[in-house]
Amino acid sequence: MKYNKNNLSVVKLTSTSKQKFKPELCSVLFTENKTVATNSFELIEISTPKNDEKVKPFKFMVQGDIVKCLPNMYELDATYSKEKHTVEFSTANALFENKITVNEQEGEYPDYKTIIPDDKKIQSKVVLNAFYIQDVISILKNVSGKNGRITIKFFGEGKPVLFEAHNDKQEGRALIMPMVND
């Protein structure tokens, strides 16, 4: 199965501490069509690049620290061995080939699909520019106080979104207009 740097970027959410009671929070879940990571406060799921390859369903977990060590290449192949409980990650280009075999992380990944609302339960949808969100958050985090709290207010489908933050001495607000064309 092929994964790319976007799939591997989910490792940023894995817990940096060695969690003895929940080791899956330090792991990345790989499936035949996505990667998933959580730290219990944030959860991210990235689909694999589209291709015509037919793959049997599978899933395996790899420790986040190991995923962080994988080559930072655009594309990475993964071969899962259910019998050996290992995964071989490989990448190649015109200059070199790199293969790393790692053990599968034991345990059961949280059933994250049950906490992501399906489209039928969504009450409104607003499409925003990711770069605008990043700009607004980077400015408002400076007045968000010690807890980093930013409030996001939605006014309905296709309407602007308001971001608010404050600390003991200042407050800040930012409005992002929705994108009209996807």
135 Cβ neighbours under 8 A, 6+ residues apart:
none
The residue-averaged pLDDT of 167-178 equals 93
Instruction: Give the closest residue to 163 by CA, choosing from 130, 141, 181.
Output: 141
What beta strand segments (E) does 12-71 contain? 27-31, 34-38, 43-47, 59-63
Q: Taking the domains of the chain in order of start, what are their residue ranges?
A: 2-114, 120-176
CB count within 10 Å of CB 104 equals 19
Write out pLDDT tens, residues 66-88. Answer: 888 776 666 788 888 889 999 88
Determine whether domain 2-114 maps to CATH 3.90.1150.10: no
Find tokens 């034991």 and name the residue.
Answer: 106
Write out pLDDT tens, residues 112-158. Answer: 888 887 788 777 888 999 999 999 999 999 999 888 999 999 998 88
Counting residues of the chain whose pLDDT is more than 70, the rounded percentage is 90
d(CA 90, CA 173): 46
21 Cβ neighbours under 8 A, 6+ residues apart:
none
Write out pLDDT tens, residues 5-55. Answer: 888 888 887 765 555 556 667 888 998 889 998 877 788 999 988 876 777
